[in-house]
Structure 1
Amino acid sequence: MPRPLIGISTYLNSASWGVWRDTPADLLPRRYAEFIQAGGGLVAMLPPDDHPDAAAEAVARLDGLIIAGGPDVAPARYGAVADPHTQTPTPDSLARDAWELALIHAALDRERPLLGICRGMQLLNVALGGDLTQHLPDLIGGSLEHSPTPGHYARHSVSAVDGTRTAAILGTDMLSVPTYHHQAVAALGRGLRPSAHADDGTVEAVEGDGPSFLLAVQWHPEQGDDARLTSALVHAAS
């Protein structure tokens, strides 16, 4: 049997390699590809494409989709004024917002298995009409455990909600997960339910309330060695 083809959205950034410096590039940290491969999937990178039918065409050829982590979602996408701590949108980040929202809607329309990671969870929530807490430390008393040091992943505990798909995959015991985020979901989007929480109450996973595989986590599973989430995605994509 061929491996299921799992598409994953990419970063838009300047990068340097070899003799090239500060060259516009479509980027994906290697750990994402390893994460998909560890679950038995074949990787396809999905850089932004502004053709009006590109997202639908791409998703039609995929067996599953991951929306990767990245910069803050533009607050205008969920009708909010930017908080001072929110990253200022750039042309690249705005293009990525538009592309990934189109991918999400295409995946929902076709009922393709979808896993959101960090920003991917936040963008899924926004796509379904929810909004975001723009700076989590302001909400939970200044705690920095979700992203204490710029450029370095932290770890904290999460527990899945009994009876959810997330719990069926990960169990309900407390898990220590790699994390790096300062924002989080606030009002939930249509058809989503919380499926895991941090000790401080932060929603750390959401999932769809229907039979299709629709799941997103606020942490970065690709930075750990637990392949259960990607195995579940690949199994659903099979």
Structure 2
Amino acid sequence: MKPLIGISTYLEESAAWGTWDLPAALLPVGYPRLVQRSGGLAAMLPPDDPAAAAGVVARLDGLVIAGGPDVEPVRYAAEPHPRTGPPARERDAWELALIEAALASGTPLLGICRGLQLLNVALGGTLVQHIEGHVSATVGTFGEHPVKPVPGTRYGALVPEEFTVPTQHHQSVDRLGAGLTVSAYAADGTVEAVELPDPQWVLGVQWHPEMADDTRVMAALVRAAS
């Protein structure tokens, strides 16, 4: 039986399709398609009562925390930077609860972009609220840059070569969360991947694997969840 992989979603006040313009819980299709191409079953997890997170995670074989808006700085005891986006408090509360439940239960966990940042915050780390050079100059598109793995890490074993990845973010890891190890860097020194040591399978990547053809990272999550 294919493992069931839950993916957190956006929560938008207005989304348009066909003749409709309504509040929606949504997700770019690249996320479920990447799970499916990697051998898993995809389930969307819209924001809910954080108290429900442990019960939800108990029904999953693996968890993906998707990309999205900036984490509210109050979550890591910081004042907002002028370039920090508006808060998504329901997502922050829900996804932090999902992460905590996955860590407590040993459920394999992959954080993507915002997901990496939330993982770092959940473990007591902080964020750089604005960096230059990792956001595409064209609104609504992804840029790309090479990422260099750290030998001897989980990510380094999955992708041992320097690899060009799709990227679209303006925040990054500052102080590393408790227990995390950096497993990839950009050329400018920006942290691009973090992980927890074995035996728990926990990895966060700053880029967007759902926007590319390479399945190595997601397939590793699906294997761990099998």
Same fold (TM over 0.5): yes
Instruction: Pick the aligned partner of 2:68 from 67, 70, 75.
Output: 70
Alignment RMSD (CA, Å): 0.9
Question: How far apart in 1 are the matches of 2:11 and 2:176?
Answer: 28
Tell whether 2:218 aligns with 1:235: no
Letter in 2 for 1:114: L
AA aligned opposite 1:120: G
Q: Provide the residue aligned with 1:106 in structure 2.
A: 101
- Output the CA distance in 1 between the equivalents of 2:124 and 2:198: 17
Distance in 2 between the 1:128 and 1:175 partners?
27
Distance in 2 between residues matched to 1:17 and 1:47, nearest whole Å: 18
Q: Which of 75, 90, 95 is 1:95 aligned to? A: 90
Aligned-partner SS, 2:118: helix
Work out the CA distance in 2 between the residues paired with 1:112 and 1:195: 20
User: Which one of the candidate residues 149, 156, 172 is aligned to 1:160?
Assistant: 149
Alignment of 1:37-186 (within 5 A): 37-50=36-49, 52=51, 54-89=52-87, 93-137=88-132, 144-171=133-160, 173-186=161-174
Partner of 2:15: 15
Aligned to 1:189, the other structure's residue is in SS state: coil
Q: Which amino acid in 2 is paired with 1:19?
A: T
Q: Is the 1:77–1:126 contact (alpha carbons within 8 Å) kept by the matching residues of 2?
A: yes
Per-residue Cα deviation, 1:15-59 (whole angstroms, up to 9, x for no partner)? 1112212x110001100011101110000100011162x101100
Amino acid at match of 2:176: L
Question: Can you give the 5+ residue segments of structure 2 that lack an aligned partner in the other structure?
Answer: none
Whole-angstrom distance in 2 between the partners of 1:197 and 1:136? 14
- Kept in 1: contact 2:134–2:170 (CA 8 A): no
Residues 168-193 of structure 1, C-alpha deviations (whole Å, 9 max, x = no match): 1111x210000000000110001101
Cα deviation digits, residues 126-166 of structure 1 (max 9, x gap): 000000000012xxxxxx24433321100000011000000
Q: What is the identity, as a one-letter code, of the residue corresponding to 1:156?
A: H
Distance 1:190 1:111 in 2: 16
User: Tell me, what secondary structure is at the counterpart of 1:80?
Assistant: coil
Letter in 1 for 2:34: F
SS at match of 1:3: coil
The aligned length equals 225
**CA distance in structure 2 between the partners assigned to 1:40 and 1:222 by the alignment:** 14
Distance (Å, rounded) in 2 between the aligned partners of 1:185 and 1:9: 21
Tell me if structure 2 keeps the 8 A contact 1:147–1:182: no
Q: Which runs of 5+ in 1 are unaligned?
A: 138-143
Q: Is the 8 A contact 2:146 2:165 kept in 1?
A: yes
Matched, 1:199 2:187: yes
Letter in 2 for 1:170: V
SS in 2 for 1:26: strand
C-alpha deviation, 1:211, in angstroms: 1.5
Q: Which amino acid aligns with 2:81?
A: D
Q: Are the equivalent residues in 2 in contact too, given 1:146–1:156 (CA < 8 A)?
A: no
The percent of aligned pairs where both chains have the same amino acid is: 60
Alpha-carbon contact 1:118-1:217 (below 8 Å) kept: yes
Cα distance per residue 1:172-230 (max 9 Å; x no partner)? x2100000000001100011010000011100000002311100000000000000011
